[in-house]
Chain A
């Protein structure tokens, strides 16, 4: 249950973060893209929360997980809660995360848990489509004008310190991997590195060499940005409990 919630948290928080950008993209097509990617993440989170609620068997629903937990109870990675200052950072965050999720879902599609494997197989197809889109933006901006190159390099640099955490394994990861349900995130790093290096090279961008890597999201220790995001996401359900569309 905790493992499913962890997987879902990355998706619900990133979905919410992306939704902030709708109507702010450089053009209409990109608004559609951001909205669609956001929706895919929220959909994955919804299915995982709903499964977690069933496994728990205490009558909670997917909405309880999304709207009635506090900041410390969310176990998403720090990367997905980071705010974006402009389109470049949004693309950098999404690209680095897509490359991770592509490997994650591919591995989880072979999970011994049939339901999780099904959700992962579907999410894998979506991640592949997202990555194709974000990679093309990294290349277009990186290998673009002098200014777009500089800003894309800065954006990758701003998000880089939150990527190490994606591959940290804790006791839960190791137990789930040993049981054949989950995957040890450390094993995903080589493929992620290969994807990222290939795209950065094509984009004429440097791979950042940032020795400082932030961590803590998996145990509920978040950056100051998550609280603000949750306030925006949860206020309606908390002001009008049980509100339905």
Chain B
């Protein structure tokens, strides 16, 4: 079989399998955490990522996952570079990722009102502006009474 896949595409495909350990329905590409991939002439790979929140504990795990996925595929020299600028924003999350997030039970970031991921009702209330992870707030649906996580828009 003849493959037309370039080395860069192959790496990008592999990285599509690296997910946020706390929100496993989203890959680092979906989140916008993955900023760039480059392959040098000597075959060494540099993956550039950006943190969602300054203190996000998932970042360390994501770095390790990137290295282990690429090493398992035969890339021996992998470097993960962290950049801060431009600052991460939920605007980078694509529509497909937002849909999957909603199906998973987390209301995606977006314009008000926040819709209940269970019953789609627009009447929802913030229970706590800080949730189980740095990127989420805790909300409740006034209609079906289900509590749910909301991915904060920043």
Contacts and interface: CB of A to CB of B under 8 A. Distances in A.
Contacts of A125: 87, 154
B80 to A, nearest CB: 14
Main secondary structure of the interface of A (DSSP, over half): helix
Interface in A120-172: 121-123, 125-126, 129, 132-133
A129 B55 contact: no
Contacts of B85: 114-115, 117-118, 121
Contact of A39 (B83, B129, B131, B134): B134
A197 to B, nearest CB: 24
State which size class the interface on A falls in. Answer: 20 to 34
B130 A121 contact: no
Nearest to A27: B128
Given A29-B138, A32-B138, A132-B129, A39 B55 contact: yes
Given A29-B128, A132-B129, A44 B84 contact: no
Given A32-B131, A37-B130, A43 B84 contact: no
Given A43-B56, A115-B84, A122 B129 contact: no
A126 B85 CA distance: 15
Nearest to B82: A47
B117 interface: no
A33 B129 contact: yes
Contacts of A35: 130
Contact of A44 (B54, B86, B88, B132): B54
A46 B138 contact: no
A40 interface: yes
A8 B5 CA distance: 45
Interface in A7-41: 15, 28-30, 32-33, 35-37, 39-41
Contacts of B127: 29
A29 B56 CA distance: 19
Contacts of B56: 43
A80 interface: no
A13 to B, nearest CB: 15
A42 interface: yes
Contacts, number: 73
Contacts of A115: 84-85
B128 A43 contact: no
Contacts of B7: none
Contacts of B86: 118, 121
B56 to A, nearest CB: 7
A30 B130 CA distance: 8
Contacts of A121: 84-87
A36 B53 CA distance: 10
A46 B55 contact: yes
Contacts of A233: none
A4 B154 CA distance: 25
B55 A133 contact: no
Given A29-B128, A32-B131, A44 B55 contact: yes
Given A39-B55, A43-B56, 15 more contacts: A29-B128, A29-B130, A32-B131, A32-B138, A37-B130, A40-B54, A40-B134, A42-B55, A43-B53, A122-B54, A122-B87, A126-B54, A129-B154, A132-B129, A133-B130
Interface of A: 15, 28-30, 32-33, 35-37, 39-44, 46-47, 114-115, 117-119, 121-123, 125-126, 129, 132-133
12 contacts: A32-B130, A36-B130, A39-B53, A39-B57, A43-B54, A43-B56, A46-B54, A114-B85, A117-B85, A118-B85, A121-B84, A122-B54
